Structure 1
């Protein structure tokens, strides 16, 4: 769990945000900056997944392969994230939940759901210095999509309920942050005529 510091001008809000997107979309960078600005913690599903891999002395690719064989790993991760969403959804305090399924798992508890993406070649360039290889990233994306469909009948390509969808290749890191910051600061619950409802999933 990451916490805020004083390096960024504060955003005065109590919103519970979810941030989702494929590997290399810029979610971690945005979440870190938002957490600083909002003065709040955030939880990353990727970090929890990596912790599971370390606990089992496995690589991400090995854990992904195991998750393909047994739904226990995915369901344990998703249950944990859903519990966190339930807790923060009633806290009336700012919070950020980041994972591929964060928008689905938080459901209508989230105040604002954000999807980030970028062309695949851009995302591959962004992760080239990570331990995860291009092949591993591609395997993980395909594998996760299949598991989400199998477990929860979720089509990860369905982004109709997201409030913001941003191609992070079109703006700088600062530009993406500025766009999201503007959305948060301009949000007025009295003018909110209703978010798209998120289908509930049984984890």
Structure 2
């Protein structure tokens, strides 16, 4: 069962039709519901990231997808950082809604390519954590791969950068996903970014 927060009747009908046969309930408050997915339509009001964070606190196991009439990278990054699993155009085709639902329910994150690259580049700056990477048992090739991810390169660009085939890059990414217990490149970059922060805190503590 899914929940939709929206004041747009047309969108409500489109979402319900797109996600059939899944039940989609239009509600004003979460109440006692524990849905599989919350579809949160952004009407342009302030505090969207705080609303996402508050919902995530109440139902941490529920995937939250933000629907935006005018999606942008800045807004997308803020809601993903707040805990949303998806960010998409509210005027997307019905098949896209179904694909997004399948993606977030399976534990992955749904983002457009532009936002994905921007978010990876912002979150994944792994410069200066060589020791932390080595502590994780990563070899030099894996370190190079993570550094390429950190600047937002896609698989083809990474393959060209490292003089490897694109299939080899996919295989190495799969290995890193398993090593970190994640399912996609965004989650991998988030894990590495957390490791970077821990390394910095440790270094500052030693210097204090």
- TM score, norm. by length of structure 2: 0.32
Structure number, greater radius of gyration = 2
Larger % of helix: which? 2
- TM score, norm. by length of structure 1: 0.33
Larger RCO, structure (CA 8 Å, separation 6 or more): 1
